[in-house]
Structure 1
């Protein structure tokens, strides 16, 4: 298989459908050359379907057998299960794992998709701590495909206050923050970017309508989501002035991002505000240096009670 044919295969795996002219432009060849390369992929066993229409096109379909030179049955099942596990628990690679899983499941034969689903239903992990609300893996997968294909979605969304409303959005990225997942999307009705927690999304419905990819402000989805989350109002306020340089505090904490701001070379401000008193206590306990605290009375009361229990337990 030539490098150009591999590039063609990679393009076919990233979108549901390509026109012949689009593939020719991406590969820097003629439409006739694209047709020859598609025939070569078919000869190797890759299920490439032709799409009828004014411009014509191609799509990679699910096959009756795995394409040769790729994976055997056991390897395909093992990789699919590993990708699902990574998407649910390894910070930093979740969206990449979902994109890879979407590509793999697109060409898995039905018999292997059934085995993967059975394994997922049969295998359980032990939860050693309360991780809070978790996103539905089926929802994660559907959103990953919609982000990849730039397909408009509709769904019902429940806000933190309990109000529910229908939304119509252009999905762009999935972002994980600790145990929570967020969808970064452009809300077509409000004509603005919005962040949606996946555990509050119900009734997801693909529209079948695709739109050009809208650029994310700042070109960094994770940083954009972190900044929005930091600016969002929280139930409990807690601001810690830490006697350590900002780089030292960032190195010793997780998932705080833009909530750590330098005051001077030896001091920084950590915004530990949260809807959960327990999470505030955990954040403060993880600070790598002494600090002073400006917090709401309920936060101070919770911290004093926790400290009393700890002192009593240690004698």
Structure 2
């Protein structure tokens, strides 16, 4: 019985690693006869694991979707990974922290005793770093709408929101009427959810903050996926200076004109900062820190000429740092 249980566990693990296995492949991997594999598959089915038989020349067996959580598929490393992931899940979605805690408790209840002990032994206290600038949490419904539209390639109708999440008035200077976009990629970066989309109104690619979008549901008509310029989603998001970001709240906030392209500064600027494109060789960086010297130090890391430094307190801090560095 013990050998059968271990073999069934390994069979379940194999079925979970890829879409389909032939009978001969499973028999070779388990080092048993094909008859034994069939018998073990029936054992899994009796335990409510949805193992489907695919007929035809390219047929075989695959693990289908079902309503029963398969706890036996976790080994020690997987149990550790799940425990860490659930306890360090970022609070960028409303209720995610409570839901992650409930999921961890529910998962521990169905795991075998040995794996349950592994997970219970790892209880973490997560502290926020001073440089973490998460956006306001997003409603799960909005995230599902965007994610579904990306997966199904359906056009979204959106409106831009104010930084506080309220809808713009038509009389506002930055008001834009509802417009259609093709959602291509949902990205998480620096504690914020971004949507990479092709704007059908302006015929260009944009990066949107999901928490700054009012979504008209349900999604619209299907579209044919376009090729993202450059093909690198990470590079496109990090070098885009128009991401709908606003300065993070700090005791000190300042700005300067840098002799660098906006896409270069946007890639290396800290979270919670805003990059404004001025021309091909210049941009304005607005950022905050716990002191004026902190902002001056960050500006110095770009190793570029600075002009239009504001406010005067930041100018004074830059001069103080120059005197300190000259004395080294």
Q: TM-score, normalised by structure 2?
A: 0.47
The structure number with the bigger radius of gyration is 2
More helix per residue = 1
TM-score, length basis structure 1: 0.48
